[in-house]
Chain A
Amino acid sequence: MKVHYKINGKDYEFDIHPGKVLLDVLRENGFTEVKGNCYMGTCGACTVLINGTPKTSCTILAAKINGAEITTIKGIGDILNPHPLQKAFVEKGAVQCGYCTPGTILSAYALLKQNPNPTDEDIKKAIDGNLCRCTGYVQQIEAIKYAIALLKEGR
């Protein structure tokens, strides 16, 4: 069947098997910045924004969200023009292996859109579903707080 999405601001049409989850459809079509591994909605590596809300793309049938607007990590900033969150993660040592990073940053991005002045607890809650085995989270949380400062300065 055919599905249409707007991904990172551009229109796409894919011919998919109706049983496929969004994560696989995205990866098979070159959006490999979306990572996956648990296919149960428990690790958060596959997080994308669907109409602005962070969702685990491994638990969503691609067919079900026909017409949706999808944002991957590349939709908020790229290597030539990184988003303050991406810069902050780099600067604060919050990227180790980096496998969880796109998902975690997208969760943080959605939080800051909704609530530009989150508490530490809010931040922890926002990235609670994004498991990271490398950093121990402390530097990720510091990075998100630093990004808030960067955003306020308009950097």
Chain B
Amino acid sequence: MERQIIGKNVEKIDALALATGQPVFTDDINLPNTLHIKFLYSPHANAIIEDIDTSEAEKLRGVHMVLTYKNTPQVYHTTAGQGWPEPSPYDTCMFNQHVRFVGDRVAAVAADSEEIATEALKLIKVKYNVLPAVFTPEEAMKEGAPILHEENPQGVYDYKKNLVAHIEVKAGDIEKGFKEADVVVEHTFETQFAQHSPIETHATISYLDENGRIVIRSSTQVPFHVRRIVAQVLGIPVSQIRVIKPRIGGGFGSKQEIILEEVCAFVTMKTGRPARAVYSREEEFISSRTRHPMKITVKIGAKKDGKFTAIRMYALSNTGAYGTHGLTVASNTGSKTLPLYNKAPNVEFVADVVYTNLPVPGAYRGYGATQGYACLEQTVDMVAEKLGLDPIAIRKINHIRKGETSPIFEALGEGREGVVQYIESEAIDKLLELGAKEIGFYEKWGKKIRNGSKVRGVGMSLHMQGSGIPKIDMGSATMKLNEDGSVNVLYGGTDIGTGLDTVVAQIVGEVLSIDPKKVIVYPSDTDITPFDKGAYASSGTFISGSAVYNTALKLRDQILEVAKEMFGEQDSKDYILKDGFVISERSGKRVSLSEMAYDTFYVKKQKQIMAVGSFVSESSPPPFAAHFVEVEVDEETGIVTPIKYVAAVDCGIVINPELTKGQIIGAIVNGIGYALTEEYKFGENGKVLNPNFMEYRIPSSRDIPEIVPILVETYEPTGPLGAKSVSEININGAIPAIGNAIYDAIGVRIGSSPYTPEKVLKALKEKNK
């Protein structure tokens, strides 16, 4: 197919507004008479509020409301913005009497200014009954451990054991598989708490419209889920709520949560005044969401020729004080990793998701796959070493191929059974070859090139992800034609900075053969646009994009139909759309979309040319990525420095190369931060000790290596114009690839991320003992 608009570097449609500082973010508007909301947090990891006295705070001039569990709806819900019925447990209230981590919300003040609200917080007197706390899943599962959720929440597997979820899927006969193996390797790896760190923190503003409905303007990835969940918590119909998504300053999963919206809406509902809540950076660390830390054990059995006979993965996930995304993230740890090596006929995945008295993990780019690959891809290297194979060779023997399937697809979906699916597009061997060539893998691997105390090594890892959640996630769009041949697109999707609006404009431009500048995109406003599940699960281009694609096809059909009438012809079989015209190839007649709109608005056949379409997928076509990294390890200081990072990526057809590149590089750098420096430090009482960018180090411009993204195009028949997803997969490579490279350089495996100098030095010391 000849491509006109896709595959081109169309400029991101909102980029200039952003680069010139237009007031486009949630908090860039200032409503008169706004109440500012500030929160009081629990200083204890586990406690019951015995008494809370807010009278002094209420007396302070300028204070209009003090919210606690006593005067807010005690509606158990989940903060996870997911599809419905929700796979996460209903274990949270707007304010809980039982506070379960240092940073759990105790109260909030709504006042005329932030200063007054902050002052008032100091006047709230709370009497806590402090309970013993548990900080690791192992402790929390022990007999006699404190029960965190005595209320036995709906959707929890076994509340008495603090077990939010237990997953077990099997294919084949795992024990037989290990017996048949010539070598068996088992490896355990632990990943840490981490923060998404979007540069814009969580922000919500709410107000009443002229008819008394609540309008929520929020930095969210999931406007429609916000509407549904706020309605549930406040006990009002969704028709009383409108959610507007302005520009979003990054999300990466953290804004797939409803954590400020319900509080703002409640204040507005009770006072009639606009309300505003904006998290500080510190609040973002202690009280928003984090990544699920996991301890994962992978056991692989393989024949002498390298073929896997069995893979077993066990994931122990720490879901902190609340179970949001607990089950589904852990599901993905297995479902987005194990099918990659479908040559193993015997597979088992087991996971336990456990409450502890620590901050709350939620959705985070990579969504469990990151944790799974951290361990799996290092174990695969260990198997290769035992067999005398190189890392690329062993992957070539075992990876999934086009036309193939894996029993895991069917057995394990997001928190429930999955769907059968076959791989329809894949270029893994090519990814491996191109990546290896770019990094010089075979020239460098096993060479331990030394320069004083610094040793270089190379490592790699292979990955797949998915595109949307099959049979669950739906997107939709409406579209109409204007007098100048431009098209308004209203779609439910949520661009959170990734460039989805631009991709949408390109898809519509391609289908209708019009300049994408003539496509005016209006995203996700629950009053105006049709439904979309939101921005998560690598679904933007795939689900929302397909919805737009389907709708554009319908609009095209109408356009052709009208052209037929205008041309006075019988059938439109050989009509084409070209540069804003409909052309009859047979008769040579042509009409511009602009003339057509004038005609249908004012002259003949008067009607609006307009279409609505939706999309839900039967499958979740995985993108694939091979990551290669060269690192330098300083044996004296323990510092690991990535020198060059190569990501060869198959995301189907590339709709916008520059935007795609941006997603890949951004995810890699996020991954490098997670692999090397980013981690929560906790005090003995479970308090976060480093809730700021000074002590929680995300990469800056000087921390990045040379980064080379290589795009290998395939055609995905189930995706819009052949596209798959790209945004999540590339965060998964840094931990395993760098881990494998460290091993190549200095011959030690470090059992947990991040790879800090202390750990490297300790491992070296043990090795040299």
Contacts and interface: CB of A to CB of B under 8 A. Distances in A.
A91 interface: yes
B746 to A, nearest CB: 27
B194 to A, nearest CB: 12
Given A93-B659, A98-B249, A141-B701, A42 B694 contact: yes
B669 interface: yes
A16 to B, nearest CB: 13
Contacts of A74: 20-21
Interface in A64-110: 72-74, 77-79, 82, 86-87, 89-102, 105
A38 B279 CA distance: 10
A98 B692 contact: no
Given A37-B199, A82-B16, A133-B250, A93 B21 contact: no
A98 B702 contact: no
Interface string A117-137: 000000111011111111111
Nearest to B247: A98
B665 interface: yes
A35 B247 CA distance: 13
A14 B20 CA distance: 24
B674 to A, nearest CB: 12
Given A39-B281, A73-B21, A136-B670, A95 B12 contact: yes
Contacts of A72: 21
A45 interface: yes
A113 B22 CA distance: 24
Given A42-B694, A74-B21, A89 B665 contact: no
B446 interface: no
Chain A contact surface mostly: loop
A95 B15 contact: yes
A45 B21 CA distance: 12
B20 A78 contact: yes
B18 interface: yes
A97 B284 CA distance: 18
Chain B contact surface mostly: loop
A117 to B, nearest CB: 19
A37 to B, nearest CB: 5
A137 B668 CA distance: 11
A90 B659 contact: no
Interface string A26-51: 00101011110111101101000000
Q: How large is the interface on B (under 10, 10 to 19, 20 to 34, 35 or more residues)?
A: 35 or more
A98 B252 CA distance: 14
Contacts of A98: 14-15, 17-19, 24, 247, 249, 497
B498 interface: yes
B11 A90 contact: yes
Interface string B631-670: 0000000000000000000000000001101100111111
B23 interface: yes
Interface in B652-711: 658-659, 661-662, 665-670, 692-694, 698-702, 704, 707
B693 A43 contact: yes
A15 to B, nearest CB: 15
B20 A127 contact: no
A155 to B, nearest CB: 15
B702 A128 contact: yes
A92 B707 CA distance: 16
Nearest to A33: B21
B55 interface: no
A128 B20 contact: no
B19 A86 contact: yes
A140 interface: yes
A127 B701 contact: yes
A94 to B, nearest CB: 8
A127 B702 CA distance: 9
Closest 3 pairs (CB-CB, A-B): A33-B21, A98-B18, A97-B497
5 contacts: A30-B30, A37-B201, A40-B694, A98-B247, A136-B669
Interface of B: 9, 11-12, 14-25, 27-30, 196-201, 247-250, 252, 280-281, 284, 496-499, 658-659, 661-662, 665-670, 692-694, 698-702, 704, 707
Given A93-B9, A128-B701, 18 more contacts: A32-B27, A32-B28, A34-B21, A37-B199, A37-B201, A40-B281, A40-B692, A42-B692, A73-B21, A90-B15, A96-B498, A97-B200, A98-B19, A99-B249, A100-B199, A101-B19, A131-B700, A133-B197
